[in-house]
Amino acid sequence: DDEKFWSKKDMTLEKTSKFALENALDFIALGFKPENTKIIIDTKNIKTLYPIAAQFAKRINFSNTKAVFGFENETNIGMIFYTSLQSAPCFIEDMPVLIPFGVDQDPHFRITRDIAPKINKPKPALIHNIMIPALGGPKGKMSASNENETIYTTDSPEVVKKKINKYAFSGGQPDIEEHRKKGGNPDIDVSFQYLRIFFEPDDKKLQQIHDDYKSGKMLTGELKEILIEKINKFLAIHQQKREDARSQLDEFLFKD
């Protein structure tokens, strides 16, 4: 979460450290095991990261970061240095590395792969994950910094219901009559997309919802109701596990 510190004026390192730990609770709640999972926080593990980052930083110049990230002369020098820190965890242990990441982080790991052979390290392999659309529509990505566009794992059932009903971008028609006639568009409907990506593992059921919504048989409100129920069912269990995870957190933290 350091990148938020560099890119947002009012963000403090205290806040980003807290975010990192809160995110960690979600990982633990999802079943990651401390034997296989180490959480690295730049400010906390800088003793391990910095010497590796320094090897990287020496081999990247401002022009490279300009070309890859579109940095400008007004970019702060922490943000400029940051890609070195982002690369460092790949080389803490001397073994092949696989990095799953949101596709927006691709430029960082392109640089990582470019530099790795120059410091006699194996290139990490990459898995690009799609971005989750924001509630507001398929064009934005879900981002923690925009409250109304995002379902947090800590949201209450009422908040989830309100956010989906109020903000989830709909592929439906302006009124019921027209919807029944023309049908909705599940490809741009955010509620349908969340079901597809996260909450409806049964492909047949998903196809049924798709067809019913597209034909106009299912209304936007009904689709949203399905999603709200699924999310809240998931969150009820997740939030319990997430609270239980607090006592385990320390086991997951990487020790320099």
Which residues of this protein are in contact with a second copy, per CB under 8 A?
A: 5-6, 13, 42-43, 46-47, 50-51, 54-55, 57-66, 71-78, 80-81, 83-84, 256
Q: How far is the CB of 84 from a second copy (least distance, A)?
A: 6
**Which residue, 71 or 234, is less far from a second copy as judged by CB?**
71
Nearest CA among 108, 100, 105, 64 for reference residue 84: 108
Give the HSE-up count for residue 174: Cα atoms under 13 Å, Cβ half-sphere: 0
Q: How far is the CB of 6 from a second copy (least distance, A)?
A: 6
Q: How far is the CB of 68 from a second copy (least distance, A)?
A: 11
**Which residue, 78 or 221, is less far from a second copy as judged by CB?**
78
**Which residue, 75 or 208, is less far from a second copy as judged by CB?**
75
Q: How do strand 133-134 and strand 137-141 relate by DSSP bridges?
A: antiparallel
Q: What is the 3-state secondary structure (H, E, C) of 134-172?
A: ECCEEEEECCCCCHHHCCCCCCCHHHHHHHHHHHCCCCC
CA 226, CA 232: separation in Å to the nearest integer? Answer: 10
Give the HSE-up count for residue 47: Cα atoms under 13 Å, Cβ half-sphere: 4
Alpha carbon 239 to chain centroid distance? 18
Q: Which residues, at least 6 apart from 169, have a Cβ–Cβ distance to it below 8 Å?
A: 133, 135, 136, 137, 138, 188, 189, 190
**Which residue, 66 or 230, is less far from a second copy as judged by CB?**
66
Give the HSE-up count for residue 138: Cα atoms under 13 Å, Cβ half-sphere: 13
Q: How far is the CB of 38 from a second copy (least distance, A)?
A: 17
**Which residue, 52 or 235, is less far from a second copy as judged by CB?**
52
**Which residue, 82 or 169, is less far from a second copy as judged by CB?**
82
Q: How far is the CB of 85 from a second copy (least distance, A)?
A: 9
Gyration radius from the chain CA atoms: 21
Q: How far is the CB of 113 from a second copy (least distance, A)?
A: 17
